Amino acid sequence: MNTVIVTGTDTGIGKTVFSAGLTRALGATYWKPVQSGLEEATDSATVAHLSGRPVLPEAYRLQLPASPHLSAEAEGVEIDIARLTPPPVEGPLVIEGAGGLMVPLTRQHLFLDVIAGWTAPVVLVARTSLGTINHSLLSLAALRSMGCTVAGVAFVGDEMADSRRAITEMGQVRDLGRLPFLADLTPGALAAAFGAIDIAAIRETL
């Protein structure tokens, strides 16, 4: 199975929109193992709308918009890491993580622990605003400390050329391109903007 993992330097930085674009570009199936927060459209619903591709049901759907371990505890649930095994699909699979790498799934397990166990290439999504160099380099160091293969860093937001250069050079990682903020977030607009992303580089890792 050809799997790619999308994680981010933080929450709310655009990795779901990026995941939607990537899922469409690869002709992939999408899976969000753990969804925290059901008050608004879920990430799976957003990706289904923007990509037009198959979306698998989450292993856990948690009501509270908080860290998964806290959301689960609020419902009297403990996340079973064994249930987070990537399901078999035909063709590529895009898996989107929850928040950043160090987000706790339980009091004992971080999302990074699970990502490392999947042994699939990781795309790190980074925002382009202030603080991104620090967050990105820390995230890259964490991934490599667990033996993860990093396909590259994809940026979301306004152009910050020096930050991109600093991250890719200091982090010794490939720049996969930048996805701008889209005022009119439609499937067509996302598909057009995704032309700036180096899909070929991501395909090489699958």
| CA dist., res. 68 & res. 150, Å (int) | 24
Mean pLDDT to the nearest integer, 93-111? 93
Token readout for 47 is 């990706």
Contacts (Cβ under 8 Å, ≥6 apart) of 85 = none
> What is the predicted pLDDT for the residue at 76?
92
Strand ranges, E, within 17-70: 29-31, 34-36, 60-62
> What is the predicted pLDDT for the residue at 141?
98
| Span 129-159, pLDDT tens digits | 888 999 999 999 999 999 999 999 999 999 9
> What is the predicted pLDDT for the residue at 37?
83
> What is the predicted pLDDT for the residue at 142?
97
> Buried b / exposed e across 45-68, counting CB within 10 Å, b at 16+?
ebbbebbebbbbebbbbbebeebb
In the chain, what percentage of residues exceed pLDDT 90? 85
> What is the predicted pLDDT for the residue at 40?
75
Mean pLDDT to the nearest integer, 153-172? 96
| CA dist., res. 19 & res. 5, Å (int) | 9
| Span 44-72, pLDDT tens digits | 999 999 999 999 999 999 988 888 999 99
Considering 15, 24, 32, 164, which one is annotated as catalytic?
A: 32
Q: If you ran DSSP here, which 8-state letter would residue 118 be given?
A: H
Instruction: Indicate the residue type of 130.
Output: L
- Lookup result for tokens 């699958």: 206
The yes-or-no answer on residue 15 being catalytic is no
> What is the predicted pLDDT for the residue at 1?
60
> What is the predicted pLDDT for the residue at 12?
86
Comparing 16-20, 36-40, 189-193, the range with the smallest average pLDDT is 36-40
Instruction: Indicate the residue type of 109.
Output: H
- Mean pLDDT across the chain, nearest whole number? 94
> What is the predicted pLDDT for the residue at 39?
74
Instruction: Tell me how far CA of residue 51 lies from CA of 30, 43, 86, 194, in angstroms.
Output: 9, 12, 20, 11
Global pTM value: 0.95
